Amino acid sequence: MTNNILLEIKDLHTHYQLDDRVVKSVDGVSFAVPMGRTVCIVGESGSGKSVTARSIMGLIDKPGRIVAGNVLWHGRPPASGKGKIAPGSSRETVLGEQAIDLARFGSTSEQLRRMRGPEISMVFQEPMASFSPMYTIGDQLVEAIRLHVEIGKSDAWKMAIGLLDRVGIKRPEERMRSYSFQLSGGMCQRAMIAVALCCSPALLIADEPTTALDVTTQARILDLLRSLQQENGMSMLFITHDLGVVAEIADEVVVMRYGKVVETGPVDAIFHDPKHPYTQQLLAAVPKMTRFDVQPEDA
């Protein structure tokens, strides 16, 4: 393994024990996320993409369980004590001397809880569902910030306004007083990204973050994530079933089917020289844009 690897998944098995059978949602998955790079997991519905992501975050609830394998975090170990970071502290990721195996921690583990936010952050598919309709966006942002940053309420409020501005939300002061149902889907997803980025995580896991959005908003969110990544140098694990999104954002691709990895490689190799028949099928199913191109004489 090269020494710029931040996260390494090794032969991971996550199963759900149902009354009558075992669902092997993740069945021997291995791949790595290098520092500052974007790895896309692609595959059809039910292939185990989300369960892989949730296994990394320690978010597998019963009757699910990681039954074997490793989730090796090569980043620096999480801070001890309350684990809060100082405001404005440098979040440059440093690889630790020894990897921590996140698969050994249960979902309620204190160490894993401290890592969520400052080290690994996650953006989910349904931004609306990620916010409570009972509290304003501002209150929820402030709470998320204060969970991880040693900061007073009014400074957290200012920091939240800065974050909303950074993710491209216009009139952020006004939006702080809005409720999630008063925002558009795209705005809500931007606010969610602001929450995820409040501690400049070393790794952002994005699970279909643009699926619920229209194509224009989707393109804007992808642009936003790319430029934030360039600013921060964070790594991204991006989950999607959309190969158009993969082409836009991936450095490396992991193709999953039935809980297994069928092929991995750099994005160019996967698109131009796919080896596995399933990858070839996925690519063949993408509509050819040339069919819809409007030629000047048609215009």
Ligand X SMILES: Nc1ncnc2c1ncn2[C@@H]1O[C@H](COP(=O)(O)OP(=O)(O)OP(=O)(O)O)[C@@H](O)[C@H]1O
Binding site for ligand X (CB under 6 A): 16, 23, 25, 43, 45-51, 64, 241
For 56-79, b/e burial (b = at least 16 CB within 10 A) is bbbebeeebbbeebbbbbbbeebe
Provide the CA 59 distance to its chain's centre, in angstroms: 13
Half-sphere exposure of residue 292: CA atoms within 13 angstroms, side-chain side? 4
State the minimum distance, in angstroms, from the CB of residue 116 to ligand X: 19
Residue 22 tokens read as 């075992």
For 9-44, b/e burial (b = at least 16 CB within 10 A) is bbebbbbbeeeeeebbbbbebebbbbbbbbbbbbbe
State the minimum distance, in angstroms, from the CB of residue 53 to ligand X: 8
Query: Whole-angstrom Cα distance, residue 116 to residue 249?
Result: 23
Give the nearer residue to ligand X in terms of CB position, either 49 or 148: 49
State the minimum distance, in angstroms, from the CB of residue 244 to ligand X: 15
Give the nearer residue to ligand X in terms of CB position, either 64 or 172: 64
Give the nearer residue to ligand X in terms of CB position, either 23 or 147: 23
Half-sphere exposure of residue 32: CA atoms within 13 angstroms, side-chain side? 13
Tokens 């996967």: give the residue.
270
Give the nearer residue to ligand X in terms of CB position, either 64 or 78: 64
State the minimum distance, in angstroms, from the CB of residue 164 to ligand X: 28
State the minimum distance, in angstroms, from the CB of residue 241 to ligand X: 5
State the minimum distance, in angstroms, from the CB of residue 2 to ligand X: 28
Give the nearer residue to ligand X in terms of CB position, either 169 or 237: 237
Give the nearer residue to ligand X in terms of CB position, either 27 or 252: 27
- If you write DSSP's letter for every residue of 149-196 in order, what string do you get? B---HHHHHHHHHHHHHHTT-SSHHHHHT-BGGGS-HHHHHHHHHHHH
Amino acid at 22: V
